[in-house]
Structures are given as structure tokens and as C-alpha cells.
């Protein structure tokens, strides 16, 4: 430490005496496709250098008498540029410097073969190589090589990234085995608000964000103080397209087919940008993706809380679910730059995206424990909107001092939007339930349903296909209306952000930076479930007769080529037609409710509805100081600290159930906490293409919004207490990272690294007992654990085999592997007392890898890409024990893409996803005991890309 301090002091001393006799040189680096970010500009003696910013601009000081600078970029020919100081001996503007792409392929019969995607790959590798942190980068054309239609599917190709899917499409991303909400998803450096129907955490629903709007994706696995600190896993920054200096037009159009729904799809995008004047530039883009997707799913519900060890493996319910979803993703992006003068620029960036998921679900539940069959029909539009407006400026206050600032407003919202014949406030997610009494065969001697391997007498079904063995057919004349339900869920999050950054370049070896940010966040979550039952079932005199399925409008079951085809369609003889969406909507009209004497058994003032809704405010006041110190020609250190002061205020309801009486009172809780975050990143260049990195960073993860809900629900009948915790502490991590990188001359890399995170205050669902009125109640509430740890190893390899003869030189390979392990202790209630169990972090797969093989010439590109995610613990059932934990099974998906360039401006392409219909499978306790399996089939499309 003393040696480092002395070195810094000497560097600062010499910096103070080297400000004379220098020339200030500036310019912009581009290639034939546009600006080159992170290009290296060196003094002629190669002792000092600077990197260009995201717009390709640079400014460097060189000693008087120097005649030139050298510009280098991965995959490009180095360029030496002469300096003319005749007009001004102290200042030189080199204007736009254009680099030429290396032709590092061999000539075949006089024709030079190049890759159409090489410039984009060069940009991504160059940004990674010159980054001061451990990071990975995807460029827009690299994303275009793969059949990835949204942001989550694009970033799953990066090392240590896994995704969760919905109906076969990527939705949430996790980094380095950490929970989804532990990573930060940012748009041009600002964290995006999140809102969805399924989650109230901070994880971004990435299927709302089309991949066509992305210029770069940068995954920073270590942080610097100028980045938001709530990113234990890392920061995924989506950098949108920026204004261009010359006219640009590109159009993509494609049509496809989704096998699961047996329906067509289409995708189209357009990008146009131009220079209005020499000072005013813009770019706009729009995208639409329309498709019908689906799932064939079956699930078993085991009686795992049964205290009898044998009977705990009995199957209470077999669920057959068929999903069809009409999905539409819309996206619009725009950017405007105004160059006031050479030293001052203003910009505006705007983004809007809408995701509509129109789900149609038909379900058949065989209830073995209650001896009936239940049909469920439901449908609704899931509507998610996201917009962001960003106004900012970049100002060069002097040769050494720069200021940039931005003001951002962003909002995300979610709501259910059915039935359309109801008013906007009455809409939600309608669910209609029918029942028929049923007797079942193939039961064990104790009268229960088992898998054969769990049955006390061996009577039961195979694990992969569980049949209902119903002794009578499902009969529409006997299937009666049991309940109508509508779930109303509105979720919104609004951000105001203001930030500024000062950068002071003491000299070419020392750059100081400081800044601040204010975030004002509003969160609103309103959830309510309404339930009606026929009054006839409740024994109310004067009730209307029951409504039977054969009295209603029905339609053929959506087999779409066969339900659960991979299993041999074993359930076709027990599936019957169900009601139409129009019939579902009609059952929520006042006329239907009155004519069939439907009785409202759950309304807005029931305990669960009152306790689930909340609102909150979160203000964050951040400041940081950091320095970038080039201590030697090979060693660079970035160090500093960030401080984030947080103020939260959440409002909810305290609800007590006493018999038939529900008492509710509003409750409000405020909390403050401070996060002090020191960070150090070290980069050592062993040679021009070999880099060693090491870092220590402290980061944190804020509590989920649902955990901060101060609502309380006490049920005297069940002797349970459910409560949020507005006073939760954030989870903290002290992270240590090492990384070795070796870059190849022909655009390739091999890297290996490790990471360790020491965790504290991990948030979990606490279970304790509490005395109330002389009785023992089970209390569930989020709390903080003392500690835990996470460790991982990463390896990454990318290479083009240009040294091979003939056509083999056009092959290449990209692959990465990550190993992750973790440990923490969680207190759980075992039915008698609270005890601690040792477990991994939730949804943390130990093994992750990606691999792709590609063939590329100047016209043809073919790529095959695989993604593997190992098994992981998905749900801990503390009362039941480890034999009943739910696990996600290992998963491997294979995708393919191909393209052919007819000319420089026209390209044909084809894409295929999930070639072998890999299922999502969950198992119960051990791998051969199936619990939940979903098949989504494959999808594909063909199209044309035009670039002018």
C-alpha cells in the first residue's frame, strides 16, 4: 500500500510540471460503417495513449516537436497520422480519421474473401480489450448473426449469463449465478424501471425490449464508481443507436412459422438517420414482431406436506395445460444531436416499447384426492409498456476539464386488459372453473394415486407419463359451472433521474472524475381477486339452476397438431372441447351474474386483496470520486468510491381476520440506509495482446418492492401471520475478481478468470413462531441472513481458423463455460421449531456453457449455436424436507441461422430456434420423479435485410 501511495504521489508531482511545451491534438476515428469507440490513439513514441469515446472522439496532449500520432483498433490496420501545427502551434484538429479493415484472409484465384460481420466483431472485441473493467460486449451485427429476437435472448450468449424463458422466449437474465434482481439492467447507463404481471422485484422483463433497437450490449462484471452500485451480479447496459453523420437507411422484413401453435409470424424493422445541417443529426428506428406461440404442459401436485412419509409422495392432482399466446412487440427509438460548437453538444434520446401477450389457456385438472375433474378456461391481454426520455449535454470547459449531464424520465407499467366488454377499471384476467365428480382407477391399496416407484404396493404410473385412469368419461352435460374469477393487477414504476459528471485530465496518465446522481422513484402495485359462485352450490333459497358446459358456446380443443406430441399424445382421449373466449367475456356481464344468481364470495375488501396492494417512494442520492492512473506503460489502476444514500417510504394495509370479520387499517413505514462502496480495478498489459486484470468492488442489491410492502395479514383461524418488512437492509457483496485475456491477431480471444463474492444481509423469506393471545402463530416475513458466499470460474474462447487451407479457413468457433457454487444458511420452520439448513442461492446453476460453430465468407454465413444450463434448486419446501424440494432439470437448446449477401446492400437470412424442442422440466426431490414439463416447439423465419 505504501509503495502504491508513493507511486501515485510521484505521478501527481510530475504531472504538475509537464503541462508546458505540449500540443493539444483532437479528432474523430471512423471506418466505412461509422464511428469507432474505444480506439487507441498513441503518441509516436507509444509511451502515452488515450481511448476514443462512444462517438469516436479523442483528445490527447503530445510533446512539442512530435510530428504524428498512431491509431490502432482490433482487426484494423494501424494508421500513422501527421500533425500540422502551422496554423496554431498549441492546438491541432485532425478531423475524421478513417481506418481500413484488415484483409486477414487468403486470396483464392485472385479473389479476396472477407467477412461481412468482421467490423462489428472488431468493435466488440476492441471495447472489451480497452475496457478498464472485466466486461463482455455484443455488437448489433453479432446479435444479428443469431436468432435472438429480444434482449434476454441476445445476452444469453455471453459468459456467465443465464436466462429464464416464458413460452420459449427469453424473459429474465441472471449473471454469475446471482438472483435476477441482483443485476442491473440499464439503458444508456440508466437503470430501467420494471413492471410485470408475475413479479414485483427489480428484475427487468427483457422480452419487452426488441434486439433490433440495440447498438451495443456491454456486460460489466466489475464496477467503477461512476456506475450505479446496486449490481452484485453485474450491469447489463443496452446502448441504443445514436445519431449519424451521413444518410443511413436499413430495412429488415421476415416471415416465419411457430410450430407449437402451427401459425405464421412476421418481423419487420426500419432504421433511418441523416444529417439535417452540419450541426444537427438524427436517427430513428422502429420494429414490430408479431407471432403466436404456445406451450403444452403437464404438472403433478404432490401431497408433500403430509406428515406420513409414504403418503407425502401421493399425487393429489394431475394438470394438463394448453397455452396459446398472440404476442406483439413494438419498439421505437430516436436520437437527436445538436453540436452547438466544437466544445458543446446537446442530445436527446427517446425510446418506447410495448409488449402485448394475449394468452388463451385451457386446462384440465384431475383431482385424485377430492374425486373430481376441474376444467379451467382463461384468457387476457398482458400489456406492458416502457418509455424513456433522456435530455443531456457534453461540454468541454477547457483543454482538461469536461462536463456531461443528463435528465431522464422513464416509466414502465403493466395491466391485464380483458374482457373488453367491461370498463377499463373492471378489466383483469378472467378465469372460469367447471367441475364434474369423478372416480379413478389404478390407485394404491390406501386409495391414493402414486407413481409406481413411490407406491406402497407398487401400483401406479411411470414418471414420464402419468395417466388419470378416470372410470367415466368427461360429460359436458354433467360438468357444471363452479366459479368465475377475475384477477385485477396494475403495476407501475416511474423514475426521474438527474446526473452530472466532471472529468479532469491532469495529463495523459492521470484522469480524475467526480459526479452525482439523484433518483426519484414512485412504485404502485394494486392487486385484487374477485370470485363468484353459483348461489345454488351455497344452498341459498331461490337460486337459479346450475349452468352446465353443454349449455354454453364451446369450440374444439386447440390441439395444433397434437397435445404433448413428444410424449405420444397420451391425453387425447380425456381432453374435451371448452368454452370460447367470447363466452368467457359474456359470463362477467351484469346480466349473466343476475340471471344465474352468481354470488360474490370475494370482493375488494377481503383480507388478501387489502394486504397485497401497496405504494411507495424511493429516493437515492449518489456521489462518487474516482481516478484513472496509468502508473506505468503497462499498469493502469482505477480507484475511488461511491456513496448512495437511500430513503424509502411505503404504504400498505394491516389486516386482521377474526371469524367472519375483517379489520383493515392503513400502515406507513419509512426507512433510510447508506451504502458506501469502495472500488478498485487494476489492468496490467503483459504485452500488446495479453492482459491481466484484478479488482475489488463493493456493491449491493436493494430489497424487492414486494418485500418492502408494510402490509400485515393475521388469520386467527389458520394461526398465521404474513407481513412485509419496510425496514429490510440491502444485500451487500465484497467481490474479488481475476481475469487473464489473450487476444489473437485475427479477431479472437482466449480468457480464463475467477470470482468470489462475500455476501452479507442476504434477503430471504423468514419463518418464525410468535405468541398471540396465548396461541402459537406461524409468521412469514422477509428478513436478512448474516452471511454467505459465491465462487465461480469462467473460460472463454473465440477463434477464426484463417490459417487452415481452402474452404476450412472460413470456419470459426466461439465458446464459453462458467462454473458457479454458493452457500448460505436459511432458518426454516419444520413444523415444530425453527432450524437452519445449508443451501445454495436460489436458481443458481453450477454449470453454464455456450458454443457456436460458424462458417463465413464475404457472402455466406452459417452458424449453429447451443446454450446449456445445468440443474438448480428452484424451491425449498421446508416443512416437507429435501426429498420434496423442486429442482429445475438441465437444459440444452440449439439454434441456427444463415444468411447470404446478394450484394453489398441486400442480404437474405433464415433463423431457427429450439431445433430439437428441448423441454423445460422440473423434478421433485430426485431426477426421475417428474413434477412439471413444458414443450414449446421450434420457431423459424426467413427474411431480407436492405442497407442503403
Encode pLDDT of 865-884 as tens digits: 999 999 999 888 877 888 99
Digit-coded pLDDT (tens) for 553-565 = 999 988 887 899 9
| Rounded (5°) CA angle 703-704-705 | 115
Angstrom distances, CA of residue 823 to CA of 178, 231, 732, 757: 12, 19, 15, 11
Residues 161-173: what's their mean pLDDT? 82
Rounded to whole angstroms, the Cα distance separating 629 from 388 reads 35
Among 41-55, 232-246, 478-492, 838-852, top mean pLDDT goes to 478-492
Whether the Cβ atoms of residue 296 and residue 563 lie closer than 8 Å to each other: yes
pLDDT confidence tier of residue 103, bands split at 50, 70 and 90 = low
Rounded to whole angstroms, the Cα distance separating 915 from 622 reads 47
Residues 238-243: what's their mean pLDDT? 83
Closest-CA residue to 186 (of 208, 153, 217, 225): 217
Neighbours of 342 (CB within 10 A): 9
Residue 595 has pLDDT above 90, yes or no: yes
pLDDT for the residue 599: 95
pLDDT for the residue 140: 65
Which one-letter DSSP state was computed for residue 595? H
pLDDT for the residue 24: 81
Residue 114 has pLDDT above 50, yes or no: no
pLDDT confidence tier of residue 81, bands split at 50, 70 and 90 = confident
pLDDT confidence tier of residue 107, bands split at 50, 70 and 90 = very low
For the ranges 89-93, 368-372, 666-670, which has the lowest average pLDDT? 89-93
Residue 917 has pLDDT above 70, yes or no: yes
pLDDT for the residue 86: 66
Pairing of strands 731-744, 834-839: unpaired
Cell numbers 462458467 correspond to: 818
pLDDT for the residue 108: 30
Cell of 167: 413460452
Q: Is 838 exposed, middle or buried (0-12, 13-18, 19+ CB in 10 A)?
A: exposed
Its pTM stands at 0.87
pLDDT for the residue 729: 93
Residue 830 has pLDDT above 80, yes or no: no
Cell of 773: 393471545
The domains located in the chain, with CATH, are 21-102 (2.60.40.10), 118-240 (2.170.130.10), 248-537+556-947 (2.40.170.20)
For the ranges 38-42, 146-150, 508-512, 748-752, which has the lowest average pLDDT? 146-150
pLDDT for the residue 504: 96
pLDDT confidence tier of residue 479, bands split at 50, 70 and 90 = very high
pLDDT confidence tier of residue 15, bands split at 50, 70 and 90 = very low
CB < 8 Å & 24+ apart, contacts of 639-642: 639/679, 639/680, 639/681, 640/224, 640/225, 640/513, 640/678, 640/679, 641/225, 641/676, 641/677, 641/678, 641/679, 642/225, 642/226, 642/227, 642/229, 642/676, 642/677, 642/679
Residue 283 has pLDDT above 90, yes or no: yes
Digit-coded pLDDT (tens) for 392-443 = 999 999 989 999 999 999 999 999 999 999 999 999 999 999 999 999 999 9
Residue 49 has pLDDT above 50, yes or no: yes
pLDDT for the residue 758: 97
Rounded to whole angstroms, the Cα distance separating 384 from 21 reads 59
pLDDT for the residue 89: 67
- Per the prediction, the chain carries an average pLDDT of 87
pLDDT for the residue 181: 85
Residue 647 has pLDDT above 70, yes or no: yes
pLDDT confidence tier of residue 14, bands split at 50, 70 and 90 = very low
Q: Which residue has the higher pLDDT, 365 or 782?
A: 365
CB < 8 Å & 24+ apart, contacts of 874-878: 874/842, 874/843, 874/922, 876/826, 876/828, 876/837, 876/839, 877/304, 877/305, 878/767, 878/828, 878/829, 878/830, 878/837
Residue 697 has pLDDT above 90, yes or no: yes
Rounded to whole angstroms, the Cα distance separating 897 from 914 reads 12
Q: Measured on CA atoms in the order 602, 603, 608, 612, is the torsion positive or negative?
A: positive
Residue 105 has pLDDT above 60, yes or no: no
pLDDT for the residue 115: 52
Rounded to whole angstroms, the Cα distance separating 584 from 380 reads 10
For the ranges 258-272, 408-422, 531-545, 717-731, which has the lowest average pLDDT? 717-731
pLDDT for the residue 106: 36
Residue 112 has pLDDT above 50, yes or no: no
pLDDT for the residue 148: 56
pLDDT confidence tier of residue 446, bands split at 50, 70 and 90 = very high
pLDDT for the residue 147: 54
Angstrom distances, CA of residue 195 to CA of 44, 185, 411: 52, 13, 9
pLDDT for the residue 6: 52
Amino acid at each position: 500500500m505504501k509503495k502504491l501511495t508513493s507511486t501515485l504521489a510521484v505521478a501527481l508531482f510530475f504531472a504538475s510540471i509537464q503541462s508546458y511545451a505540449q500540443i493539444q491534438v483532437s479528432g474523430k476515428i471512423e471506418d466505412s460503417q461509422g464511428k469507432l469507440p474505444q480506439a487507441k490513439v498513441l503518441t509516436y513514441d507509444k509511451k502515452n495513449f488515450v481511448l476514443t469515446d462512444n462517438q469516436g472522439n479523442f483528445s490527447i496532449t503530445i510533446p512539442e516537436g512530435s510530428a504524428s500520432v498512431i491509431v490502432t483498433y482490433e482487426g484494423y490496420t494501424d494508421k500513422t497520422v501527421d500533425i500540422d501545427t502551422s496554423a496554431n502551434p498549441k492546438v491541432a484538429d485532425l478531423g475524421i480519421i478513417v481506418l481500413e479493415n484488415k484483409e486477414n484472409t487468403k486470396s483464392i484465384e485472385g479473389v479476396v474473401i472477407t467477412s461481412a460481420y468482421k467490423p462489428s466483431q472488431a468493435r466488440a472485441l476492441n471495447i472489451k480489450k480497452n475496457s478498464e473493467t472485466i466486461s463482455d460486449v455484443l455488437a448489433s451485427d453479432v446479435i444479428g448473426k443469431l436468432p435472438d429476437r429480444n434482449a434476454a435472448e441476445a445476452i444469453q450468449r455471453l459468459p456467465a449469463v443465464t436466462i429464464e424463458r416464458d413460452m420459449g422466449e427469453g424473459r429474465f437474465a441472471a449473471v454469475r449465478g446471482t438472483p435476477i434482481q441482483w443485476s442491473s439492467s440499464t439503458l444508456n447507463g440508466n437503470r430501467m424501471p420494471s413492471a410485470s404481471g408475475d413479479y414485483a422485484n427489480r428484475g427487468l422483463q427483457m422480452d419487452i425490449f426488441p434486439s433490433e433497437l440495440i447498438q451495443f450490449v456491454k456486460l460489466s462484471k466489475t464496477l467503477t464508481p461512476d456506475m450505479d452500485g446496486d449490481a452484485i451480479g453485474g450491469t447489463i447496459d443496452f446502448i441504443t443507436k445514436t445519431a449519424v453523420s451521413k444518410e443511413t437507411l436499413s430495412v429488415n422484413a421476415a416471415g416465419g412459422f411457430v410450430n407449437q401453435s402451427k401459425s405464421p409470424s412476421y418481423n419487420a424493422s426500419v432504421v433511418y438517420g441523416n444529417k439535417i445541417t452540419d450541426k444537427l443529426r438524427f436517427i430513428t428506428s422502429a420494429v414490430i414482431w408479431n407471432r403466436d406461440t404456445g406451450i403444452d404442459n403437464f404438472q403433478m401436485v404432490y401431497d408433500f406436506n403430509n406428515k406420513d412419509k409414504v403418503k407425502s409422495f401421493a399425487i393429489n392432482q394431475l394438470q394438463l395445460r394448453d397455452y396459446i399466446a398472440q404476442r406483439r412487440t413494438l419498439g421505437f427509438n430516436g436520437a437527436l444531436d445538436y453540436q452547438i460548437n466544437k466544445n458543446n453538444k446537446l442530445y436527446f434520446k427517446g425510446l418506447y416499447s410495448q409488449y402485448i401477450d394475449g394468452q388463451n389457456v385451457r386446462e384440465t385438472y384431475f383431482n385424485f384426492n377430492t374425486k373430481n375433474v376441474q376444467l379451467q378456461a382463461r384468457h387476457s391481454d398482458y400489456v406492458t409498456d416502457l418509455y424513456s426520455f433522456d435530455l443531456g449535454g457534453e461540454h468541454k470547459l477547457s483543454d482538461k476539464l469536461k462536463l456531461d449531464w443528463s435528465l431522464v424520465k422513464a416509466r414502465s407499467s403493466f395491466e391485464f386488459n380483458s374482457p373488453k366488454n367491461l370498463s377499463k377499471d373492471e378489466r383483469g384476467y378472467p378465469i372460469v372453473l367447471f367441475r364434474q365428480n369423478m372416480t379413478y382407477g389404478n390407485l394404491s391399496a390406501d386409495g391414493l394415486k402414486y407413481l409406481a416407484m413411490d407406491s406402497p404396493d407398487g401400483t401406479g404410473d411411470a414418471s414420464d407419463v402419468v395417466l388419470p385412469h378416470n372410470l367415466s368419461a368427461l360429460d359436458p352435460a354433467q360438468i357444471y359451472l363452479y366459479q368465475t374469477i377475475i384477477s385485477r393487477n396494475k403495476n407501475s414504476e416511474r423514475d426521474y433521474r438527474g446526473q452530472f459528471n466532471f472529468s479532469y485530465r491532469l495529463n495523459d496518465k492521470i484522469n480524475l472524475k467526480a459526479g452525482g446522481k439523484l433518483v426519484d422513484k414512485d412504485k404502485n402495485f394494486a392487486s385484487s381477486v374477485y370470485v363468484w359462485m353459483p348461489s345454488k352450490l351455497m344452498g341459498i333459497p331461490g337460486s337459479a339452476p346450475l349452468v352446465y358446459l353443454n349449455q354454453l358456446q364451446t369450440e374444439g380443443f386447440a390441439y395444433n397438431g397434437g397435445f404433448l406430441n413428444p410424449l405420444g399424445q397420451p391425453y387425447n382421449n380425456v381432453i374435451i372441447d371448452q368454452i370460447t373466449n367470447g363466452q368467457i367475456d359474456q359470463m362477467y356481464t351484469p346480466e349473466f351474474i343476475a340471471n344465474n344468481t352468481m354470488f360474490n364470495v370475494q370482493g375488494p375488501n377481503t383480507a388478501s386483496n387489502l394486504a397485497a396492494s401497496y405504494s411507495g417512494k424511493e429516493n437515492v442520492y449518489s456521489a462518487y470520486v474516482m481516478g484513472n492512473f496509468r502508473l506505468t506503460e503497462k499498469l493502469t489502476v482505477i480507484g475511488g468510491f461511491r456513496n448512495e444514500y437511500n430513503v424509502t417510504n411505503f404504504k400498505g394495509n394491516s389486516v386482521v381476520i377474526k371469524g367472519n370479520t375483517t379489520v383493515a387499517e392503513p400502515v406507513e413505514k419509512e426507512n433510510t440506509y447508506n451504502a458506501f462502496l469502495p472500488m478498485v480495478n487494476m489492468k496490467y498489459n503483459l504485452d500488446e495482446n495479453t492482459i491481466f486484470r484484478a479488482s475489488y468492488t463493493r456493491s449491493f442489491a436493494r430489497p424487492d418492492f414486494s418485500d418492502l410492502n408494510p402490509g400485515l395479514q393475521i388469520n386467527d383461524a389458520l394461526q398465521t401471520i404474513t407481513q412485509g418488512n419496510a425496514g429490510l437492509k440491502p444485500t451487500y457483496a465484497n467481490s474479488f475478481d481475476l481475469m487473464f485475456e489473450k487476444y489473437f491477431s485475427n479477431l479472437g480471444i482466449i480468457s480464463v478468470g475467477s470470482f468470489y463474492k462475500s455476501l452479507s444481509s442476504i434477503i430471504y423469506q423468514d419463518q418464525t413462531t410468535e405468541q398471540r393471545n396465548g396461541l402459537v402463530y406461524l409468521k412469514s416475513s422477509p428478513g436478512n441472513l448474516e452471511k454467505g458466499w459465491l465462487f465461480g470460474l469462467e473460460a472463454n474462447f473465440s477463434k477464426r481458423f484463417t490459417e487452415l487451407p481452402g474452404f476450412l479457413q472460413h470456419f470459426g468457433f466461439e465458446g464459453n463455460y462458467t462454473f458457479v457454487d454458493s452457500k448460505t444458511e436459511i432458518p426454516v420452520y419444520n413444523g415444530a421449531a425453527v432450524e437452519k439448513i445449508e443451501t445454495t442461492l436460489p436458481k443458481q446453476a453450477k454449470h453454464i456453457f455456450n458454443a457456436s460453430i460458424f462458417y463465413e465468407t464475404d457472402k455466406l454465413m452459417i452458424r449453429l449455436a447451443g446454450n446449456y444450463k445445468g440443474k438448480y434448486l428452484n424451491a425449498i419446501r421446508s416443512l416437507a424436507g429435501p426429498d420434496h424440494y423442486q429442482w429445475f432439470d438441465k437444459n440444452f437448446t440449439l439454434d441456427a441461422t444463415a444468411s447470404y449477401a446478394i450484394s453489398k446492400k441486400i442480404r437474405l437470412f433464415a433463423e431457427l430456434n429450439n431445433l430439437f424442442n428441448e423441454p423445460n422440466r422440473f423434478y421433485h426431490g430426485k431426477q426421475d420423479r417428474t413434477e412439471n414439463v413444458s414443450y414449446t416447439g421450434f420457431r423459424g423465419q426467413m427474411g431480407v435485410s436492405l442497407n442503403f
